[in-house]
Chain A
Amino acid sequence: MRAFLAILRKELAIHFTTPVAWVVLVVVAFFSAQVFAGALDGFRLLVTRAGEAPGGAAILDRVNLTDAVVARLFGSVGLFLVVTTPFLSMRLVAEERRAGTLELLLTSPVRPASVVAGKYVASLLVLVAALVPVSLFPALLSLAGRGAQGGGAVEWPTVLSGLLGLLLLGAACLAVGLAFSALAPAPVVAALLSLLVLLGLWLANLFTVGAGSAARNLAAGLSASEHLSPFLQGRIALADVLYFLSLCTLGLFVAERAVEGRRWG
């Protein structure tokens, strides 16, 4: 436990003294703001047009801020996480190997599982930090919508379920990235490999144009974006939670084996 905490603290110190974590935080926040502004604009346009058109009231009944703005924003944040987390995770083990510091860790009375766990939890904390500004946007909507008709403009249960989905997605991405960091000979290789795999998982549901229904089902089952979207609509299904947790488990297992297996190289 002591070693785990020491590694966790050391990792956090390194995350925030090197630029990578800051860049990820800024990139996620900046692009989220862009998407948020765009979605909000789109929503305003929709509401204006619907108000002018005949039968527009029926349309207005079926749209709301949470689905039109927050779910859209979170969907994009999902992609941002897929693209940025490989850069958070690339260093975790590969850099230690390159710098020779892995030799310190592996000759200390510390189990590889503690090494992997400490590194993973530290990167999760960076992920949580990246999601804080993202969750400010619905809070902003809620503040701005206060007093407007209908009271609370934002459905918080849906927002929270969306944030949970993003957290699970990010956690799975980091676990996959950690596994590649433990396997790859250099951080850049780890980043590219995990980016490739994660984008593949994210887009898997698109690769099936013209394929049979069995292939389509399989692709949808593998697709990270398919498993994220129910969360964004406020539905937390066991199957989706298990999907992300299995990716986490698999990534951590491979990472632990790879760190342990370093000795056998």
Chain B
Amino acid sequence: MIEVSGLTRRFRDRVAVQDLTFSIDRGEVVGLLGPNGAGKTTTLRLLTGYLPASSGSARVAGFDVFEQPMEARRRVGYLPELPPLYDALPVRAQLAFASELKGLSRREAAAEAERVASLTGVSEVLDRPTANLSKGFRQRVGIAQALVGDPEVLILDEPTVGLDPFQIREVRDLVRSLGGRHTVLLSSHLLPEVAMTCTRVLVLHAGRLVGFDTLDALVARHLPGRTVTLEDIAFLEEIFGKLVSPA
């Protein structure tokens, strides 16, 4: 569903991403993991066609991102690092606008806005201006926007950054539920984040791919006997979740 070969991007004197080669199957949820500055955002921007590559190629949903950009973009939903929302527009108009950009008619777009809003739990804020939303809602509206037009591939840049642990869990559950129907590539600099949502992990360091495997395999290789750590974190977050939402 996503095939990348020799993908390289230079910015003047600096190489942001170097010689990436990997492929992701349909329905997978893959994490792009790496410290800040490793080239995660650049990689995602290359795959969405926002940035052209210096060399190499990328195919998404069967279309070359650089040669057939319109075809490829029709099949990709993208949440950039900052959710791209117009402060002046209500959420409903924002989502309908994004749907129309994807090629839906006005009538279809209105229905699509409702559909993705209910999928992501933002129906209650549909008529509020995006400028007045909390960070958690902005992020979810951003994800809703990536979902318009039911794209085959979802590319999410740090979907949980800036959220509180409870919101993180909601978004994580949401992303996990999107797998299967969509092929998801999401970036994060938090290992547990990726561990809990993704089937496989791409590890990026200084613009190079240093690992691509299932998490269990990565942990087994690099940290023999340390799988417990991840469960501990999940455990702590579960306690926090119970504290903030008495059920």
Query: A and B bound?
Result: yes
Query: Inside 8 A of A110's CB, which chain B residues have their CB?
Result: 101
**Distance of A41 from chain B, by nearest CB (Å):** 41
Q: Main secondary structure on chain A at its contact with chain B?
A: helix
Instruction: Identify the B interface with A (CB < 8 A).
Output: 45, 48-52, 69-71, 73-74, 76, 78, 80-89, 93, 97-98, 100-105, 109, 145
Known: A263-B50, A264-B52. A108 touches B84 (CB 8 A): no
Q: Is the CB of A2 within 8 A of B145?
A: no
Query: Inside 8 A of B74's CB, which chain A residues have their CB?
Result: 109
Query: Inside 8 A of B105's CB, which chain A residues have their CB?
Result: 2
Q: Main secondary structure on chain B at its contact with chain A?
A: loop
Sample of 15 A–B contacts (CB below 8 Å): A2-B100, A2-B104, A10-B97, A14-B89, A17-B88, A100-B80, A103-B78, A103-B84, A104-B101, A106-B50, A107-B48, A108-B98, A109-B69, A263-B50, A263-B51
Give A13 to B86 CA distance when docked, in angstroms. 11
Query: Inside 8 A of B104's CB, which chain A residues have their CB?
Result: 2
Instruction: Identify the A interface with B (CB < 8 A).
Output: 2-3, 5-7, 9-10, 13-14, 17-18, 99-111, 263-264
Q: Is the CB of B73 within 8 A of A109?
A: yes
Chain B's closest residue to A16 (CB) is: B88
Give A102 to B80 CA distance when docked, in angstroms. 11
Query: Inside 8 A of A111's CB, which chain B residues have their CB?
Result: 70
Query: Inside 8 A of B80's CB, which chain A residues have their CB?
Result: 100, 103-104, 107
**Distance of A127 from chain B, by nearest CB (Å):** 20
Query: Inside 8 A of A2's CB, which chain B residues have their CB?
Result: 100, 103-105
Q: Is the CB of B88 within 8 A of A18?
A: yes
Select which of B45, B81, B101 is within 8 A of A108 by beta carbon.
Answer: B101
**Distance of A12 from chain B, by nearest CB (Å):** 11
Select which of A18, A101, A103 is within 8 A of B50 by beta carbon.
Answer: A103
